[in-house]
Structure 1
Amino acid sequence: MSTMQQIRRDIGHAWEALFEGWQRLYRRATGAITRFTHGGREAPEVSAAEAREMAERSAGWGVLAAEVFDDDDKVVVRLEVPGMGKDDFDLQVMDDYLVVRGEKRLDREETIGRYHITECAYGCFERAIPLPEEVDSEKASAAYRDGVLRVQLPKTAARRRAIKVEVQ
């Protein structure tokens, strides 16, 4: 095998490994990535040019870290969404998913030494979190504290039971 053939083969293997790595990362992160869009219930009063600029800066993809805990009688979902109020959320159980919608509004200004920092972020988001068991959405409860939304969903009485299967 010539040197050029060996280089081509090695580059091909490197590209395949890189592509497989991106695919694995995409599969693992797909559920965590959330789309933020501009606008919502109370968009600030701004000119068309300012609204367009804010939309370009604020709209995009972000990660809302979530954890799902499953125990004998309930499913607990914790979602990190700092900078919001408890009335900024819309929660629904649809099929086997907890759907969390909200609107994020962030205005922050601070001066540190000679630096003046101003940050603004506006946008609506939606995240569908798969539930491991069937839940009774009528008895669900939610609390928001210190930037963390915690939703408790009691399991239904007709939840799936573990059964032992003998292998023959």
Structure 2
Amino acid sequence: MAGLTTRGTKGPPTRWNGGKSLYDEMEHMLSKLWEEGQEAWFGGRHIPSLDIEETESAMEVKVDLPGLKAEEIEIQLNGNMLTVSGHRRAEKEEKGKKTHYMERKFGSFSRTVSLPSPVEEDEVAAEYHDGVLHITLPKPEAAKGKKINVKG
């Protein structure tokens, strides 16, 4: 961008120094396009963020679900497919209150992921606190691996 020049109505070309503002404007337009694209693609539904971590003995999944109660969350495990779903209720409108901006999503949500390792279905445990769902999925003995000592 440093070598870009602009031609005024009179005189020689002058150096254009609006690169930062152009960059900021492009960033704003692209992020807005991305957000609107996600709205169109996912139909305005809430897609919760999650992390999957693996230890020697278990798969650990954390799902951000702020504002829900534990009884509003459903977890299903089918083979290595884990589904977290639920419903976030819309707040009741108050008379005399006008909403100017609303980003929080309400309604049903569902998130399905493929787990990278087999798990013991009967030993899965889940806890929900501070808006984060923690799911612990223990691995079967065969999936934990075995350390083999090398003799020399």
Q: TM-score higher than 0.5 here? A: yes
Cα displacement (A) at 1:163: 9.3
Query: Residue 85 in 1 paired to residue 69 in 2?
Result: yes
Residue equivalent to 1:129: 113
What SS is found at the alignment partner of 1:102? Answer: strand
Given that residues 119 and 139 in structure 2 are in contact (C-alpha distance below 8 angstroms), is that contact kept between their aligned partners in structure 1? yes
CA distance in 2, matches of 1:150, 1:126: 16
Cα deviations by residue, 1:128-164 (Å, 9 ceiling, x for unpaired): 1221110012111111111111100100122164899
Residue correspondence of structure 1 range 157-168 to structure 2 within 5 A: 157-159=141-143, 161=145
Q: Which residue of 2 aligns with 1:138?
A: 122
How far is 1:61 from its partner?
A: 3.6
CA RMSD in angstroms, aligned pairs only:
3.3
1:155 alignment partner in structure 2: 139
Letter in 1 for 2:136: Q
Partner secondary structure for residue 158 of structure 1? helix
Q: Which letter does structure 1 place at the counterpart of 2:107?
A: G
Separation in structure 2 between the aligned mates of residue 158 and residue 129 of structure 1, nearest angstrom: 22
Conserved 8 A contact 1:133-1:160: no
Contact 2:46–2:109 (CA under 8 A) maintained in structure 1: no
User: Is residue 74 from structure 1 mapped to residue 74 from structure 2 by the alignment?
Assistant: no
1:101-146 per-residue CA deviation (whole Å, 9 max, x = no partner) reads 1111141779xxxx85486853111111221110012111111111
1:95 to 73, 76, 79: 79
2:49 to 65, 77, 89: 65
Give the fraction of aligned pairs with identical amino acids, expressed as a percent. Answer: 26
Q: Name the structure where strand makes up a greater proportion of residues.
A: 1
List, as ranges, runs of 4+ consecutive aligned residues in structure 1 with deviation greater than 4 Å.
Answer: 115-121
Q: Compute the displacement of 1:74 (Å).
A: 0.6
1:69, CA displacement in angstroms?
0.6
Count of aligned pairs:
106
CA–CA distance in structure 1, aligned partners of residues 92 and 116 of structure 2: 38
Q: Which amino acid aligns with 1:94?
A: N
Aligned-partner residue type, residue 76 of structure 1 = E
3-state SS in 2 of match to 1:63: coil
Q: Which runs of 5+ in 2 are unaligned?
A: 1-40
| Distance in structure 2 (CA, Å) of the matches to 1:121 and 1:106 | 8
